[in-house]
């Protein structure tokens, strides 16, 4: 399941590159959420899956939907629309394991020196990749970078919130509640966009893959993994997404991968490993 999740999740940044030239980000996401809901509802009805009985769970699921769907995807797609490469946007969001581990450690009242070193190394690695992108003066702008960090904050907060407050329930009804909340939030944002959707084969491919694979597949797997595992170990899978996406972007779009880029990814990997690695237990 983790390997399948990483493979599916990595394609999200690639699909964004296919869809964004033909659609504004929030209009695309609003339609994606709507089509996904229409896919889930018949499935729930035919399978006779019960909905959450606790009203507070509806609220908690709605909050996670706003962060994990509207906030995270809105940030990523807006960053890509603003010109940021899919490899770089994936790397920014790939810092989630570091932030999650630091937050969990801080809740215990103590962050070790090794974890602070890992956090520093993670950001050094990111800076190395961003510095390379700044040379072209195109892919990184204050807007695109802020949207990428909004996505990072949203998925981190949403993951921690879900692990803390959402009780185990069927992934189909839980995803539907999350998607409905995200659909409501993105509707006014989509209405504010002036660009219209251009329906062509690339747009249809991007929408179909987003609904069937990314939402029904990837997002559902992410929900299940959070429900079954510890937050830090689950989010550490996110580190595998940036290199996978970077390779896909290199093959499909010809995005550059220089020595500095590779070194930055390795430094980020080392930083994440220092943060999430469990402490040694003396025998």
Say whether 225 sits in a helix, a strand or coil: helix
User: What is the separation of C-alpha 33 from the centre of its chain, rounded to a whole number of angstroms?
Assistant: 15
Q: What are phi and psi of 137, to 5 degrees?
A: 70, 15
Render each residue's pLDDT in the chain as its tens digit; 283 residues: 677 877 888 787 778 778 888 999 999 999 999 999 999 999 999 999 889 888 899 999 999 999 999 999 999 888 888 887 766 777 788 778 778 777 777 766 456 777 778 777 877 776 776 665 555 545 678 888 899 899 999 999 998 898 888 888 888 999 999 999 999 999 999 999 988 889 999 899 999 999 999 888 888 888 787 777 655 556 666 767 767 776 777 777 676 677 887 887 788 778 777 766 666 544 4
Specify if 281 maps to a domain: no
Name the one residue in this structure whose structure tokens are 């490469």: 85
Name the one residue in this structure whose structure tokens are 């990428």: 148
Q: How many folded domains does the chain comprise?
A: 1
What the block records as the tokens of 28 is 């695309």
Helices (H), the chain: 2-19, 25-47, 55-65, 72-81, 86-93, 96-107, 113-134, 142-165, 171-192, 201-209, 220-228, 231-235, 241-253, 259-276
Residue 137 — left, alpha, or beta (φ > 0 → left; ψ -120 to 50 → alpha)? Answer: left
pTM value surpassing 0.85: no
Rounded to whole angstroms, the Cα distance separating 217 from 253 reads: 24
List, for residues 115-128, the tens digit of each pLDDT value: 778 777 877 776 77
Specify if 121 maps to a domain: yes
Specify if 186 maps to a domain: yes
Specify if 241 maps to a domain: yes
Specify if 146 maps to a domain: yes
In 3D space, the residue among 111, 98, 116, 85 whose CA is nearest the CA of residue 14 turns out to be 85
Q: Which domain holds residue 220?
A: 2-276
């Amino acid at each position: 399941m983790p390997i399948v999740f990483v493979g599916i999740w990595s394609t999200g940044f690639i699909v964004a590159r296919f869809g964004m030239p033909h659609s504004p980000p929030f209009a695309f996401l609003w339609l994606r959420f709507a089509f996904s809901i229409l896919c889930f509802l018949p499935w729930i009805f035919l399978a006779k899956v019960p909905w959450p009985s606790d009203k507070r769970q509806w609220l908690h699921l709605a909050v996670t939907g706003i962060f994990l769907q509207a906030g995270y995807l809105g940030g990523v797609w807006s960053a890509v629309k603003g010109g940021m490469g899919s490899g770089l946007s994936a790397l920014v969001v790939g810092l989630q394991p570091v932030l999650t581990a630091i937050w969990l450690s801080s809740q215990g009242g103590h962050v070790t020196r090794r974890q602070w070193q890992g956090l520093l190394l993670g950001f050094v690695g990111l800076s190395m990749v961003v510095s390379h992108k700044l040379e072209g003066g195109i892919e990184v702008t204050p807007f695109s970078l802020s949207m990428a960090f909004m996505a990072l904050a949203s998925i981190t907060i949403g993951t921690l919130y879900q692990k803390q407050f959402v009780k185990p329930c069927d992934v189909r009804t839980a995803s539907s509640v999350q998607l409905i909340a995200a659909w409501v939030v993105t509707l006014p944002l989509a209405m504010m966009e002036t660009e219209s959707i251009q329906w062509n084969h690339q747009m249809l491919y991007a929408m179909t893959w987003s609904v069937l694979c990314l939402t029904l597949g990837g997002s559902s797997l992410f929900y299940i993994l959070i429900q079954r595992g510890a937050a830090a170990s689950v989010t550490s899978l996110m580190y595998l997404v940036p290199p996978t996406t970077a390779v896909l972007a290199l093959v499909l779009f010809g995005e550059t991968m220089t020595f500095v880029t590779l070194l930055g990814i390795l430094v980020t990997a080392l930083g994440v490993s220092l943060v999430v690695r469990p402490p040694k237990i003396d025998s």
